[in-house]
Amino acid sequence: MILYHASNMAVESPEIRRTVYAKDFGCGFYCTANHSQAERWARRDRNLVSIVNHYSYEIVPGLAMKKFPVMTDEWLDFIAACRGGKDHDWDIVEGPMANDTIWNYVNDFVSGAISREAFWALAKFRHPTHQICFHTPAALRSIKFLKAEELPRQS
């Protein structure tokens, strides 16, 4: 399987970095199987070079993996916990991404502004995107850098 990582530089040796802002599945190295999604993310800052890094991905036996095929209550609770700063023990987590619109709904759910039922009513018309996150050095060994694709500048 080929995975993509959006950046403003070639990332030949991925690292797990802690960030100021909590992400959907917590700290880790995020990729997607969707090239067009990676292109959109790489182009989010028009002032920088836009790079889509390509990796081959092969599951390494013995890794703890969590996969959410679709958005479910379990997915919502997992993202709410991770976005709240809670750690987990998974090596790799894969599933839908809470894009900005869906994240607003998640935030409203977490803060108590909307109920779980209201979240699902709002989210059902949104089409989530794909993400896979590598949380441990052992998990990073399952991907191999192939190339860095510099995207043409858009006007």
User: Would you place residue 25 in the very low, low, confident or very high pLDDT band (cuts 50, 70, 90)?
Assistant: very high
User: Would you place residue 134 in the very low, low, confident or very high pLDDT band (cuts 50, 70, 90)?
Assistant: very high
| Residues 140, 136: Cα–Cα separation, whole Å | 6
pLDDT at residue 20, as a whole number: 66
| pLDDT tens digit sequence for 56-73 | 999 989 999 999 998 899
Q: How many helices (H) does the chain have, and how many strands (E)? A: 5, 7
Adjacent-strand bridge partners of 150: 51
Q: Is the pLDDT at 124 greater than 80, yes or no?
A: no
Both tokens of 68, joined, read: 């959410």
- The CA distances from residue 29 to 16, 18, 86, 91, in Å, are 5, 10, 17, 11
Average pLDDT, the chain: 89
Q: Is the pLDDT at 15 greater than 90, yes or no?
A: yes
